[in-house]
Structure 1
Amino acid sequence: MAFNVIKPGILALVQDLGRHGYQHLGVTTGGPMDELAFRWANALLDNNENAAQIEITFGMLTLEAQAATSIALTGADLGATLNGCTIYPWQTYAVKKGDVLSFKQANYGLRAYLAVKGGLQVAPVLGSCATVLREKLGGVRGNGEKLQQGDIIPYQATHTHRSRSVPRLAIPDYTSLDIPLVMGYQSNYFSGLDRANFFGSEFKITPQSDRMGYRLNGRPILSNQQGIVSEGIAYGAVQIPNDGQPIVLLRDRQTIGGYPKMGCVTGFGGGLLAQKKPGDSLRFQSVSIDQAEQKRHLDLARIAQWR
């Protein structure tokens, strides 16, 4: 009663909603890069919202089911097939013993989420099975490794299946260039011109981007502070180092940092950003805390109402 990993792909990780309550010890949260897609995958199967899934980045993953179950796919379209037949994200599928599930390359987006009925049965480390490679925590073996060929990922078998799909209005537009950001108190460290350049320019995602943070390249944004006293780092914080090129800190971020910050991208904005690849462009869109909270409440309310 498990998935057998035939091909591990480029980067496939077991994730839940993250490891909370340990940042004071220097342990980051981890968790899904696209939280909304993760939550919808569990909702489609009536799973607990924190049930473990596989986050598939770039694709090239092949799994063989060793027992019948029901699965849900959300997030990016990575050219998934079930026994050679094309399947699409944002809906559920029945899987039988011996079925082969494969992911190719991205048609759109970057990260897909594979949930199984009842969740993957992976032992937690510090209260979570979220995989953080840098900290060697979580995952199938608890040591932070990505999925490897021959790995066995247990789940509870079921012959019950319901065909379901996410309402079209609830599916994010991964082609959008606009990433919502709430300005922080350190935005005063930047001149009015630099703030205008920050929101009026397009930035490109560099190849030096990963789950820890996205490094951007564009018109330099200069601060009148060369550095600050190191402080705690929130999810989505946009640091501006001395070269003026923004860094958006994401799920596997360090817990403290000492560069001035323009603000934080929202949870929804971070999910949109996580679906972009190196070379893609983006713009920052200033939103208020109220607007960000309203958007999050709307997304969560949609899921709760749908459930």
Structure 2
Amino acid sequence: MLFHIEEAGVLTTVQDLGRHGYRHLGFPLSGAVDPLAHRYANHIVGNPGSDATLEITMGGLKMEVLEPHLIAVTGADLDATINQNPFPLWKAVKVQQGDQLRFRGPVHGIRSYLAVSGGIEHEMILGSRSVYERAGIGRALKAGDFVFACRPVDKQDLAREGWQLASSYRPFYNNEITLRVIPGRHMERFTLESIARLATQEFTLAGSDRMGAKLHTGSPLKHKKSADILSEPVMPGTVQVAVDGQPMILLADAQTTGGYTSIGTVREEDLWQVAQLKQGGTVYLKMEEGWSDT
């Protein structure tokens, strides 16, 4: 046993890089909503990027260390502390039995990733350790739970103590983001005025979870006719627009098919920004070349 959960916080789950190859059976990708921070956390402690981490959303997590180990915390600054002292982010840190780790709440970003040498142990289902609560595949951590590492720490692991990611590689979590969008085949279903406005239109993040991020604008996108289509495959990054004209960006736990029009897909390498954006943050959608409003 590595950690004892004393307070579970808003939402803390075990995640890896997801459940690949099962979307045709209705299983979403799942996995880390911010795979960039997840990979970095694993890299710092010497793990493959595919190893499982703890995804800590919004903070509130408090836990006791039960055995010495090497860990790293990346992603959002959730005001993490160790024994009431600031915990260094983006760095390999040796923790000792009895240490108290706490994530008080978001300063920059909303999701932290905690990696341990050898990875977090969790039941492997369909090739992944990722929790997907909607289908009953695992659950969020709760007070009283224990978290296990896949193996004990060794001397080779501890040799990485103090290793840190260069500051030039660390993402900055801004409250204003620009997302590159690859145009979709439903563009002709929106009015030319709506499409033309996208280049400068400001959206606000109205709310988000692991399934998607709902945007809001005072000038909703307008459909020429219906917002409904025959259901077709969707994926993380798909930007759906329902009848209200407000876009929804699908994320890791998104459904596998959808019946709403889509203006396109956010580029995969930009999605981490959505994962870390606070509610009320500003979003701009930059349509990539290859479409025309004329």
- Same fold flag (TM > 0.5): yes
CA offset digits 1:82-110 (Å, max 9, x no partner): 11110232222111111111100111100
Distance in structure 2 (CA, Å) of the matches to 1:154 and 1:196: 52
CA offset digits 1:177-232 (Å, max 9, x no partner): 2122211222232233211222311111113x211111111020112241211101
Whether contact under 8 Å (1:11, 1:146) holds in the other structure is yes
| 1:150 corresponding residue in structure 2 | 144
Whether contact under 8 Å (1:70, 1:161) holds in the other structure is no
| 1:47 corresponding residue in structure 2 | 47
Distance in structure 1 (CA, Å) of the matches to 2:168 and 2:188: 37
Distance in structure 1 (CA, Å) of the matches to 2:60 and 2:280: 20
| 1:267 corresponding residue in structure 2 | 268
| 1:247 corresponding residue in structure 2 | 248
TM-score (structure 2 length as normaliser): 0.92
Residue 288 of structure 1: how far off its partner (Å): 5.5
Summarize the alignment of residues 108-187 of structure 1 with structure 2, pairs less than 5 Å apart.
108-137=108-137, 144-155=138-149, 156-158=151-153, 160-162=158-160, 163-175=162-174, 176-187=176-187
User: Could you say which structure has the higher strand fraction?
Assistant: 2
Summarize the alignment of residues 1-307 of structure 1 with structure 2, pairs less than 5 Å apart.
1-137=1-137, 144-155=138-149, 156-158=151-153, 160-162=158-160, 163-175=162-174, 176-207=176-207, 209-218=208-217, 219-226=219-226, 227-287=228-288
Whether contact under 8 Å (1:110, 1:277) holds in the other structure is yes
Whether contact under 8 Å (2:182, 2:264) holds in the other structure is yes
Distance in structure 2 (CA, Å) of the matches to 1:92 and 1:128: 25
Letter in 1 for 2:18: G
Distance in structure 1 (CA, Å) of the matches to 2:93 and 2:45: 10
List alignment gaps of at least 5 residues for structure 1.
138-143, 290-307
What is the alpha-carbon root mean square deviation over aligned residues? 1.5
Residue 30 of structure 1: how far off its partner (Å): 0.5
**Compared with structure 1, are the counterparts of its residues 87 and 22 closer, same or farther at alpha carbon in structure 2 (3 Å cutoff)?**
same
Equivalenced residue count is 282
List alignment gaps of at least 5 residues for structure 2.
none
Letter in 1 for 2:32: P
Distance in structure 1 (CA, Å) of the matches to 2:188 and 2:233: 19
Instruction: Identify which range, 159-168 or 271-280, moves more after superposition.
Output: 159-168
Identity over aligned pairs, percent: 36
Instruction: Identify which range, 73-82 or 183-192, moves more after superposition.
Output: 183-192
**Compared with structure 1, are the counterparts of its residues 134 and 199 closer, same or farther at alpha carbon in structure 2 (3 Å cutoff)?**
farther
Distance in structure 2 (CA, Å) of the matches to 1:8 and 1:247: 28
CA offset digits 1:36-69 (Å, max 9, x no partner): 1011111111102111100000001011111111
Letter in 2 for 1:216: L
User: Could you say which structure has the higher helix fraction?
Assistant: 1
Residue 9 of structure 1: how far off its partner (Å): 0.6
**Compared with structure 1, are the counterparts of its residues 30 and 278 closer, same or farther at alpha carbon in structure 2 (3 Å cutoff)?**
same
Distance in structure 2 (CA, Å) of the matches to 1:166 and 1:189: 45
Residue 282 of structure 1: how far off its partner (Å): 1.1
